[in-house]
Every structure is written in C-alpha cells, then in structure tokens.
A and B are shown apart, each in its own frame.
Chain A
Amino acid sequence: MSRSRLEDILPFLSVLILVSTLFGLVLLKMEVRRMGYSVLKSSHEYRKLQDQRRMMSMEYAKLTRPDRVRKFAVSKLKLNDSRNGQIIQLAGQTLAMPQ
C-alpha cells in the first residue's frame, strides 16, 4: 500500500478505533451490570441456603436430644439402664471383666 493511500484511510481508521473503544467500554459496563445482578441473585440464594442449613441443623439437634433418644430407647426398643453384671469392660488383652 502506497504511503499516500495509507494517509487517506488513516482518519477513517482513527474514527473506527475510537468508536470501537467506546462500544467496548459500553459493553464492559453492561457486563459489569449483568454480573452485578447475577451476584445479587446468588447472594440471596447463598443466604437462603445458609438459613436452610441452620434450620436443618436445629432440626437434627432437636431429633437427637438425649431425652428424646432415651424415651425412644425405653418405649420403642424396650431397652433399660445397664445394671452391674451387664457391662463387660475391655481394657487391653489382659482384662475382660463384667461389672
């Protein structure tokens, strides 16, 4: 390409680059906005899941409370408190003794 021809298209190229940069900036700004909405939605979801986890751990704690487990063991499984002679203590290889 001859030098004179290059000089002819340079103003157009400059305008093109300027316009493309402007468009790029606008697109970037729009992408930031779009991601902002996405983060907002995800953070709401995150808080909701955290709350759900808390609710479920509370539910678990309620279900495994010692008095409930004991009541279940006594009434449904017909278990009783251990008495002397019913427990065998295992301590190493030398001692095995019911108490």
Chain B
Amino acid sequence: MKSRILILFSAFLLLWAVLLLRAARLQIFPDERLASLKRRQFETSLQIHTRRGAIVDRNGTELAASVPAYSLFADPKVIRDPYGLGKKLGSYLDMPAMNLKRRLRDKQRRFIWIKRQLSEKQRDEIKSWGETGLGFVEEPKRVYPNGGLLSQVLGFVGSEGNGLEGLELEYNKELLGQMKTIILPRDARGRPLLEDGRSLTEVPDGADLQLTIDHEVQFTLERELAGVVDHFQADTAIGIVMDAQSSEIVAMATLPVVDLNESHRYPQSLRRNRVVTDAFEPGSTMKSFVIAGALKENLIKPSTRFFCEDGRMKVGDKWITEADSNHHFKTLTVTEILAFSSNIGAAKIGFELGAERLNRVMADFGFGAKTGVELPGEARGIMNPLPWRPHLLSNISFGQGIATTPMQMVAAYGAIANGGLLKRPLLVKAVRPAHRDEEVIEFQAEEIRRVLSPSEAATMRLMLTAATEEKASGWNARIPGYHVAGKTGTAQKVDTVKGGYIKNAYISSFAGFVPASNPRYVIYVAVDNPKKAYYGSQVAAPVFSKIAQYLVRRAGIPPVLISERNMINTPAGEEKRRSALQARAMEDLKRSSEEDAKTFPNLMGLSLREALAKIRERANHVQVRGSGVVVRTIPMAGSEMSGKRNVVLVLENPD
C-alpha cells in the first residue's frame, strides 16, 4: 500500500516538476512568437497627433498656426446604399456626385479618401447621418489667418506638414511636432489601462516662433507698396522696415503677396522672397557708402569741392553722364554731390579712394556677402573681383556694375543710422518650446564689425539729411515735422538673357532712416519697372515718406520741425516762412552736432589709432593702458571739455 502511495506521489511530483519547468522555460527564455501573441492580446497602441508650432509676431499675434482637421474616408464594401450616400456627400461637400457614386460602388476596395481636412462642424454633421462605412482620421491643418500678409517671409507647408519655403522651411525642425505612439496594457474591452496619465498630456508639440515683425506695420507697408505698384503700373515692389538700433526687422514685404491658404495656386516666381533672393544694381543709393568710405579714409570732408565736368566726363574710352541729362553741375561740395546725386562727383570720389580701398569699403559694409538673416535662399549679391578697370570703378561709385540685395542695403544703411556698427538683421526674436519647463531660446542681433566711427556716422547722417532738403533728390521723402535722412536710387534693369540693360526698364528705390538725428527706423523701398515714372525721387521716395510718417506717429516720436503744416490757422503757401523755419531747424541739427564736439567723444570699441585720431586736438597728454580696443576712458564719454586735458585710455583685446 505504502509503495503504491509513494509511486503515485512520485508521479504527481514529476508531473508538477514538468509543469514548473515548462512554465519556467516560457517565462525565462525569450520566444518571439509568444511575445507577439502576448502583445496582441494584452497591449494596445495609442497614436497622438502633435501640433506644429505657431508663428507669432512680436506682440504675440498669430501669423500661422495648426488646427485639428478631419479627413473623411469610406469602406465601399460595407456601404449599403452607395448611390444615395454619393448623392448626399456630393451635395454636402460640394463635390461631383457622379464620381463619388462610382467610387463608392467599387466593392473591391476597402479604403478610399473622400475629402481631406474637413472642419469639426462638417465631421459632426456627417457623423450625425449614422451611415455605415464612413470614418474620420484626425490630421492637423496649417492656417494662415491673415491670408497674404508676410506671405513670402512665412513660406508654407506641404500636404505632409513639412515646411517648404520661408520660415516654415528654415525652422522646420523646431516647428515640427512629432507623432507620438504610446504602447499601453489594455483591458478585456480593449480600453487602455493607464499607468501614468502624463504620457497622454505631455506631448512633444513643436515650438512656437516669435518674430520681430509687427503685423500692423507689415500691413501698412504692404498697403503702401500695393498702392505704388497700382499707381505706377509696376511689376513688383519690395519694402523693409528695420529698427535702427536693435536691427530687428519690423516689416518685410514683396508685392504682389500670395494667399498662403491657397499657396499651391500661385507660380513659384511670386512665392520668392525677393528681399533676400534677388540681387540687382542699386543705383545711387550706393553713393552713400562711397562717400562714407572716403570720409573714413580722411580723403574728403563734407565741404570738399569737386568739379563735376558740366555733366559729362570721359573715363577711359567711355563717357559717363549724370542720371538726369538736364543736370550740368560745375563745382559741388561732397554734401551737394550726395544731395543732387551727381554721378560724376561720386565717380571722382571713387577715383580718390581707388579700386582696392573701394572694394574693401564695400566688403566692410557687407556687400558681396550674406547678411545672415534667418531666411532660406539668401543671395550674396555680385561684386566683381579686382582688378577693376577705371570705367568699372566709376560705375560702381554710382551703383552700377555691382548687385546687392535689399537686405544688404538695409543692413548697410542701418550701420550709418546706429552710429557705425554693421549688425546681422534679426527676424526671429525667440523660439518658445511648447512646455513651460523647457528653456526659451532668445536671439539678439549680432554685431558684425564697426564700419564707421560714431562721428563719421553722424557726419553721414547730416549729409543724408541734406539729401532730403528742398531741391535735393530726396525732397519727396520728407515728413512734415521731422528730419529725414536718405538717398534715392534709379537703376537700369539688367537684361539677364541678352546682357546689357533693358530699354526703358528701371528699379526705383529709396533708402533712409527717420528721425535723422536719432534714428529709430531704417526703411528701404524699391519699385521694379514702374511705367508712369521711373526716378527714385518720383516713385519710391513718396512711399518712404508715407511709411515713415505712419511709423513716427505710431511710435509717438514728437516732431522737431515747426512749419506752417504743423500750425493751426496758419495760411498755407508761406513759402518764405517755411524755408526760414526749415533752415533754422537744420541749424539746430548742426548745432547739436557741434555741441557734441565740446564734449569728450565716445571711443568705445575703437582701435588705439582711431581713438588717438579722434582726441588728437583735445588731449594734452594721453596715457595708454593695455592693448586691443578701447573699453574705458578717463574722462568718460560725454564729459564736458573746456580746453585740452590729460586722457587715460584703457584697452583690452576684444575676445
């Protein structure tokens, strides 16, 4: 009996041992087939659509954002009445019913798209019909609430949600959210069992992009440019507004604009951001930099006189003339050369500089190199390599034989406006991650190099102010109540196919800043191929004036000029009175710069040689400490100077 029990016990023990070993094998040793079976039975995957980041202006107004949309699909095999459903869908979605009926009758197919990116309202309405065989997939949709505003700068996204042009392309990586898939255990009814609720709420959405653009200024710029295109029957127009001190781009436009919600309907040529992609001959706006270069090299002063050859000068075997054939200038000061835009005067200053120095001046101001603004497809412009023949040298001096982009031009005028520092224009202010615990990346304009000393820049500002006075070429750019500084440009259009210039085709431009004494905004306007008139003074300068007028009022900058236009109950047309008042205001401006001469100058950032040149006539004894650039002075910049005194310069290496 006992032995039978023992045998039975041993048999059970063996059986259990086998079972345990089997269980241990299943649990301990990996088996892909069993693992997949387990996953199928006990796990479910959830797909969470992440959002592409928004693009907002400097005040947080949305310029581009992604909203949920619903794409409708059908399974023809389970649709009971394809004829009736096709008719109903066709009528509701405004689609050809015949085509829908034919596709819904195709029982061989289990999946067909009916329509992509429907609204929530449309989805709810279709769901309420209770039709079998219809379903929705949630897909994000990119919306541009302002339609065409800032269109070429923003760019657009493709159907797969990737940026294709503009900022959408340049910042695609930052903007793009990622599709998040979570694997979760599920219950008997297939519902996910959550271990950690944050896995559903902490979604890797794309970061938001905050621009330096002000959408109201942008609107005004586009409206004024549209007006000039319409009035002069021009092909296109380009405009930029930049903060003179911070180099932040406040507005940037290429006309005509493109409705970004329908971007695929426009040709590629219209979607191009010509502000950075197109380089063209700048014309007389270039003269400012030739003069600035000669001023920097101590070759000229504003009062230096040049004989302008009665409007015609032979260079090599070719003749150069003034832009306006009625101009026969004799002797002009440098200020007048700029004000009356004399080609011959500018060419003579160019000859004073020589090819190598002029080439260096142009490179210093950033021509021939990308500005580094955060936009794709930026052009470098065209600068002919040295050596330059005399004729090319003279042409470059008045803005021919060289091609620049509007962005380069704004950056270079910005350097004159801000006191001599060339900076990288800034378009993106910050990248803001979707989650608060992640760090916000903020950007600031980088200083590229000092191109003029503060006093040389101040002299240039005065000369450019004179270029908008009465009888000067920029007279139409003036604003009642304010000093304006700037330069007109009229350039013949280059024939890129046949070479040479296109007959009767011009690019009219104006570049300048406002207010002239303490610049707040740098503005550039270019109008391509205007038909009714073509001089920059007639076409671009009035647009500059309108935009500048809007900007100074919006910024609350008080007027400094009192003219009859500023006064109530003053009879209009008092030409004499107005001239006297304006002359007095110019005197005030000049006096203020003379007062600067009675104070110790700002030498920060200058080399020892530049600093010594500045204080040569004001210093008794100069003590130099260290090497590199000036970082501190005794006395401090702005201190009153009565006669000569001892000066200490502290220098440090910039890095």
Chain A residues with CB under 8 Å of chain B are: 33, 36-37, 39-40, 42-43, 46-47, 51, 54-55, 57-58, 61-62, 64-67, 70, 84-85, 87, 89, 91, 95, 97-99
- Could you tell me if A36 and B195 are in contact, using CB atoms closer than 8 angstroms? yes
CA distance A17 to B568 in the complex (A): 97
CB-defined contacts of B143 to chain A, threshold 8 Å: 58
Residue pairs across A and B with Cβ atoms less than 8 A apart, 11 shown, are A33-B193, A39-B200, A40-B194, A54-B65, A54-B67, A62-B145, A66-B216, A87-B553, A89-B556, A89-B559, A99-B566
CB distance from A14 to the nearest CB of B (A): 27
**Secondary structure of the B side of the interface?**
loop
CB distance from B433 to the nearest CB of A (A): 16
CA distance A61 to B51 in the complex (A): 18
Number of A-B contacts (CB under 8 A): 89
B146: Cβ under 8 A from any A Cβ? yes
CB-defined contacts of A47 to chain B, threshold 8 Å: 200
Asked, given contacts A36-B195, A84-B565, A87-B553, whether A65 binds B558 with beta carbons under 8 Å apart, the answer is: no
- Could you tell me if A36 and B194 are in contact, using CB atoms closer than 8 angstroms? yes
CA distance A35 to B49 in the complex (A): 24
CB-defined contacts of A57 to chain B, threshold 8 Å: 62, 65
CA distance A89 to B558 in the complex (A): 7
CB-defined contacts of A85 to chain B, threshold 8 Å: 565, 568
* Chain B: CB-nearest residue to A54: B67
CB distance from B228 to the nearest CB of A (A): 16
Chain B residues with CB under 8 Å of chain A are: 51, 61-62, 65-68, 120, 143, 145-147, 149, 187, 191-195, 197, 200-201, 215-216, 219, 223, 480-481, 553, 556, 558-559, 562, 565-568
- Could you tell me if A51 and B67 are in contact, using CB atoms closer than 8 angstroms? yes
* Chain B: CB-nearest residue to A37: B191
Asked, given contacts A65-B147, A97-B559, A99-B559, whether A58 binds B62 with beta carbons under 8 Å apart, the answer is: yes
Asked, given contacts A51-B67, A58-B65, whether A39 binds B568 with beta carbons under 8 Å apart, the answer is: no
Quick one: which of A46, A66, A67, A87 has the most chain B CB within 10 A? A66
CA distance A67 to B218 in the complex (A): 11
9 additional contacts (CB under 8 A) given A57-B65, A65-B149, A99-B565: A40-B191, A55-B68, A61-B145, A66-B219, A89-B553, A89-B556, A89-B558, A91-B556, A99-B481
CA distance A39 to B193 in the complex (A): 10
CB distance from A61 to the nearest CB of B (A): 4
Which 5 residue pairs of A and B lie closest in terms of their CB atoms, listed nearest first? A39-B197, A91-B558, A36-B194, A61-B145, A66-B219
CB-defined contacts of A39 to chain B, threshold 8 Å: 194, 197, 200
CB-defined contacts of A58 to chain B, threshold 8 Å: 62, 65, 67, 143, 145
- Could you tell me if A51 and B559 are in contact, using CB atoms closer than 8 angstroms? no
CB distance from A72 to the nearest CB of B (A): 14
CB-defined contacts of A89 to chain B, threshold 8 Å: 481, 553, 556, 558-559
- Could you tell me if A98 and B145 are in contact, using CB atoms closer than 8 angstroms? no
- Could you tell me if B562 and A65 are in contact, using CB atoms closer than 8 angstroms? no
- Could you tell me if A97 and B200 are in contact, using CB atoms closer than 8 angstroms? no
CB-defined contacts of A40 to chain B, threshold 8 Å: 191-192, 194, 197, 200
CB-defined contacts of A67 to chain B, threshold 8 Å: 146-147, 149, 219, 223
CB-defined contacts of B565 to chain A, threshold 8 Å: 84-85, 99
